[in-house]
Chains A and B, each alone.
Chain A
Amino acid sequence: METPSPYTMFGVKGIGEGGAIAPPAAIANAVNDALRPLGVELLHSPISPRRVVEAILAAREAERSAA
């Protein structure tokens, strides 16, 4: 059975990407929820340990200079 997409030139549809696009965003949301009390928000993947440490130190620094 063929169900061509009405939105693309040759009726093609993406496959596979759907499964790959959502997880980084879901993981980032979970990490950001966990880090919210520290005033940290990460907007880039991969969320490496180093990026987490850098973001926490930067948030701490910002808080110190605001105080």
Chain B
Amino acid sequence: MKAAAFAYERPSDLSKALALTARTNGSSKIIAGGQSLGPMLNLRLVEPDLIIDIAGLSELKQADHDGDELVIGACITHSDIEDGRIPDVTRGAMQRVAGGIAYRAVRNRGTIAGSLCHADPAADWVSTLSALGAKLTLRSLAGARDVATEDFVTGALETALKPGEIVEAVRVPVMTPTARWGYVKACRKPGEFAHAIAAVLIDPEAATARVVVGALERAPIVLGDAAELFGGRITGDFERQFDARVADAILLKAGIANAADRHIHAAVLRRAINEAAA
């Protein structure tokens, strides 16, 4: 199929893009890399009146330190991160996740914020950035607001983005030196969408653990304080303390009725925890 007819604008700066978005009041779509929106258009799952192309906006392609955060412009591509063209504050976590997204051709064009805005539950950044405690800066003509990744993705293909808003940047906190991370996804062939995802960030020194279970039919399950998975306390022994029965109960409570689904997600979570401990 081919996309339905739409108008196309390529604004020269972010304020012009914001003005266009505000004027169309929800009937426009932002395009950057087009790796999700392209197929959606061709399948006519979306039929916007106007496409606003922000891929050329240099202000969205910066990545800089700001205090204890790295601010990554919305249009930074997966391969920018994979190839180390931007700084890393996650001790290699983002670089490795980026390298595992779909295929190289997709990574060359697909952008970090584009993936988040598409909000596919099986997308790598949706789960990873929730685990890393990243926030998104959403800008409109009225100003800017910061939203945590897990509050931004509200459901399958649903976000908290309001009409007139554009994701400007992703703010990733600097990972503590004592933190351990793990990221595992279940795919039957490389490059396909994951059937299960687990992302964990565990700091035994600080006794904190963020655990994310993704690739569900809903937004990821984000446990900001995952102590209950480890017998109530995060210690250096977290790998042995992990209790798969507690994970199963959490998944059941989150509405995952199928026992095989819960088993697969819990198995992937255990692998991510093993990776963090290794």
Contacts and interface: CB of A to CB of B under 8 A. Distances in A.
A26 interface: no
A53 B264 contact: yes
A49 interface: yes
A36 interface: no
Given A48-B188, A49-B188, A57 B264 contact: no
B188 A53 contact: no
A33 interface: no
A57 B188 contact: no
Contacts of B186: 49
The dominant DSSP class at the A interface is helix
A47 B263 CA distance: 17
B25 to A, nearest CB: 43
Contacts of A53: 260, 263-264
Interface in A32-61: 48-50, 53-54, 57
B259 interface: yes
A49 B194 CA distance: 13
B195 interface: yes
A54 B262 CA distance: 11
A46 B263 CA distance: 20
A25 to B, nearest CB: 21
Contacts of A54: 260
B26 to A, nearest CB: 38
B259 A57 contact: yes
A50 B186 CA distance: 11
A53 B263 CA distance: 8
A25 B263 CA distance: 27
A39 B176 CA distance: 48
A49 B264 contact: yes
B261 to A, nearest CB: 8
Interface string B170-198: 00000000000000001010000001000
Interface in B242-264: 259-260, 263-264
Interface of B: 186, 188, 195, 259-260, 263-264
Interface of A: 48-50, 53-54, 57
Question: 3 shortest A-B CB distances, which residue pairs?
Answer: A54-B260, A53-B260, A57-B259
